[in-house]
Chains A and B, each alone.
Chain A
């Protein structure tokens, strides 16, 4: 490469970053209202977290009995949302659906935001967050490959990195007016697909690899995670893409939304089927092994609220699933939106609190404990969600500017 060309490249990289900044800093009144609300929620969460940092995790509702709660529930859920980007990437690149390629960039933006959110949720759950470097390869002592949590840390960071590189590579090249040849980044797309499936599988293994916790100790957990992630991810994308369609230059085709809706229908069906298989095992015989499930679904002793929530979640999921299998309902935008919202919250409950908490009840020594998230936990959670929304907004804006609004290097 000649010197002149290199200089031009460096110059245009600065230009690209400038374009990113200006897309982040220029927006209508609605944009600024949105960003300021998110920023204030994030700051609100940060102040709550500073209290937790000062007084320890004792300010949460957690205990030795129920040692993971709202944070880890959200962690598992958002790892799923991040993994769900593959439902766009696989059809676009492996099944050659060209019209889907432009949207995969938004899927990758969502993946970046969701992985960041997941990583933040584990970080706030740490008792000694400043010791994060102990988990860094070379500097610290990552217990790899023995500890599944070590695997999780590794694949999550790699997935974040690969998605950032892909976004950068495609957007930057388009910005410089040379449309990137798919061949040049296709290997990375394959890596991203494998990592996308991996992050959620490993997160499921982190739970299901504990014989001490019979509620999670089931081989069905990983497939269930993948199915429910695809359903919840598709639901979120349908809602987000419509919002972007209304508020930006992004154009959502009817065909695309239909395809995502079909993926969502099948994923949701499969997710419910796996849940049913789980329930059969739990209830056909009355063994002590399945006591967590009995406590959860009969609401006998502990968590009444959780029992109500899990029934609400299953009902909502069933209704949405039936709706999606009726063509006229699926192709009606308003009804599709209702089904998407139902699925999103159903899975948030079922895979979040409805999965994590019952795993701890009863404790391995048979103790039945209670857990209610504290105000601080809820504030921190809201704050992290806001951070995720900010990241997605910023990435989606530059993506749309380049991909749909023809923003180019002058």
Chain B
């Protein structure tokens, strides 16, 4: 079946290579495709990330780097490091320590090359009035001179990397899926931009690139991952990937590193000696909107 599909696609590609030749734009050889036109033709026929051969992926990664050079004038390195064996990521957030500084949001935007022009942020910190859990009473745009403000507590929300992700179920073209290490990723080159995943997500964790993201050249993070923080284009979804480009190399996600109060604990759920396992086993943890049935890998607890 898979062979069938790729041969059909191969046929399609052949036809198009001919068409491209006929269009008189570029040569059909591989070396000749490094022009902007050649790259966009090749991008059009690019296969789904999970069906590409290692060689095809190598080609694609090089193309991503060329495109970033053309769009932003920087030399990024785009990798596709695979999941580490025996690792499944999870996150716990200590609500009594979170003071609403939003440092996590700022760090996330820079680390993940989020477009600055459309204020796309993959973490939202809600200011909650004391005594309620009703999200409809939250303040998303608090602008206090000093945090924390009396009578408020803070609830940071980002992708919960669910085990039964509603977004993955909703996508009509399988452009998003859950990796073996628990991270829900998007193939930005396969997403058609219908936003059905954003509609399905109960955590409002999916964000759309409404325009071409603008990135300040000197702030671009050059260490990128294909499924993570590589520069995106207009018309595709993005989300928190637990900083896949960092965490698959054993580093901490940028939000945890930036948190000044130590409210965030990221770790490997499969490691019995990890801090996250200790908290899950010894604290009164809970999950947000558990009744939605999506089985998040993101917990909250309160320590006081």
Spell out A's residues near B (CB within 8 Å): 55-58, 62-64, 67-68, 122, 125-132, 134-135, 138-143, 146-150, 153, 206, 210-213, 288, 291, 362-367
Spell out B's residues near A (CB within 8 Å): 4-5, 8-9, 12, 44, 48, 51, 118, 120, 124, 126, 134-138, 140, 157, 166, 169-175, 190-196, 198-204, 207-212, 234-237, 289, 292-293
A141 contacts which chain B residues (CB < 8 A)? 48, 51, 173-174, 190
Q: Is A364 within 8 A of B194, CB to CB?
A: no
Contact of A132 among B169, B174, B192, B235 (CB under 8 A): B192
Q: Is B134 within 8 A of A212, CB to CB?
A: no
Q: What are 5 A-B interface contacts by the 8 Å CB criterion?
A: A57-B210, A134-B175, A141-B174, A212-B199, A366-B136
Contact of B173 among A129, A142, A364, A365 (CB under 8 A): A142
State A208–B157 Cα separation when bound (angstroms).
24
| Contact status of A139 and B8, CB under 8 A, knowing A56-B210, A131-B192 | yes
Q: Is A135 within 8 A of B212, CB to CB?
A: no
State A366–B138 Cα separation when bound (angstroms).
7
Q: Which 6 A-B pairs have the closest CB atoms?
A: A127-B193, A127-B235, A366-B135, A58-B211, A212-B202, A58-B210
Q: Is B195 within 8 A of A67, CB to CB?
A: yes
Most buried by B among A57, A68, A146, A364: A364
| Contact status of A149 and B136, CB under 8 A, knowing A67-B199, A127-B195, A212-B201 | no
| Contact status of A64 and B173, CB under 8 A, knowing A55-B211, A127-B193, A139-B8 | no
Tell me how far the C-beta of B289 lies from the nearest C-beta in chain A, rounded to whole angstroms.
8
Q: Is B126 within 8 A of A366, CB to CB?
A: yes
B136 contacts which chain A residues (CB < 8 A)? 288, 291, 362, 366
State A366–B216 Cα separation when bound (angstroms).
31
Q: Is A67 within 8 A of B198, CB to CB?
A: yes
Main secondary structure of the interface of B (DSSP, over half): loop
Tell me how far the C-beta of B160 lies from the nearest C-beta in chain A, rounded to whole angstroms.
11
Tell me how far the C-beta of A93 lies from the nearest C-beta in chain B, rounded to whole angstroms.
33
B196 contacts which chain A residues (CB < 8 A)? 147, 149, 206
Q: Is B204 within 8 A of A134, CB to CB?
A: no
Contact of B194 among A56, A64, A122, A211 (CB under 8 A): A122
Q: Is A364 within 8 A of B208, CB to CB?
A: no
Residue of B nearest to A62 (CB): B210
Q: Is A64 within 8 A of B208, CB to CB?
A: yes
> 19 other contacts beyond A141-B173, A141-B190, A365-B204, with CB at 8 A cut-off?
A57-B208, A58-B210, A67-B199, A68-B199, A127-B191, A128-B191, A128-B235, A131-B173, A134-B173, A135-B173, A139-B5, A141-B48, A143-B174, A147-B171, A153-B172, A212-B200, A288-B136, A362-B136, A367-B140
Tell me how far the C-beta of B34 lies from the nearest C-beta in chain A, rounded to whole angstroms.
21
| Contact status of A127 and B172, CB under 8 A, knowing A210-B199, A362-B136 | no
Q: Is A64 within 8 A of B207, CB to CB?
A: yes
B202 contacts which chain A residues (CB < 8 A)? 211-212, 364
| Contact status of A128 and B236, CB under 8 A, knowing A365-B135, A366-B126 | yes
Residue of A nearest to B121 (CB): A64
Residue of B nearest to A295 (CB): B136
Residue of A nearest to B210 (CB): A58
Residue of A nearest to B1 (CB): A138
State A211–B170 Cα separation when bound (angstroms).
12
Most buried by A among B4, B157, B196, B199: B199
B235 contacts which chain A residues (CB < 8 A)? 56-57, 126-128
| Contact status of A149 and B170, CB under 8 A, knowing A68-B199, A212-B201, A363-B204 | yes
B201 contacts which chain A residues (CB < 8 A)? 212, 364
State A68–B199 Cα separation when bound (angstroms).
9
Tell me how far the C-beta of B245 lies from the nearest C-beta in chain A, rounded to whole angstroms.
23
Residue of B nearest to A211 (CB): B292
Tell me how far the C-beta of A377 lies from the nearest C-beta in chain B, rounded to whole angstroms.
13
Q: Is B200 within 8 A of A210, CB to CB?
A: yes
Tell me how far the C-beta of A88 lies from the nearest C-beta in chain B, rounded to whole angstroms.
31
State A122–B172 Cα separation when bound (angstroms).
13
State A56–B211 Cα separation when bound (angstroms).
5
B190 contacts which chain A residues (CB < 8 A)? 131, 134, 141
| Contact status of A128 and B172, CB under 8 A, knowing A210-B166, A365-B157 | no
State A150–B118 Cα separation when bound (angstroms).
29
A142 contacts which chain B residues (CB < 8 A)? 172-174
Residue of A nearest to B157 (CB): A365
Tell me how far the C-beta of A227 lies from the nearest C-beta in chain B, rounded to whole angstroms.
24
State A263–B170 Cα separation when bound (angstroms).
35
Tell me how far the C-beta of B292 lies from the nearest C-beta in chain A, rounded to whole angstroms.
5
State A366–B207 Cα separation when bound (angstroms).
16
B192 contacts which chain A residues (CB < 8 A)? 126-129, 131-132, 134-135
B209 contacts which chain A residues (CB < 8 A)? 56, 127
State A128–B172 Cα separation when bound (angstroms).
13
Tell me how far the C-beta of A17 lies from the nearest C-beta in chain B, rounded to whole angstroms.
27
Most buried by B among A62, A149, A365: A365
Tell me how far the C-beta of A302 lies from the nearest C-beta in chain B, rounded to whole angstroms.
12
A135 contacts which chain B residues (CB < 8 A)? 172-173, 192
State A206–B138 Cα separation when bound (angstroms).
28
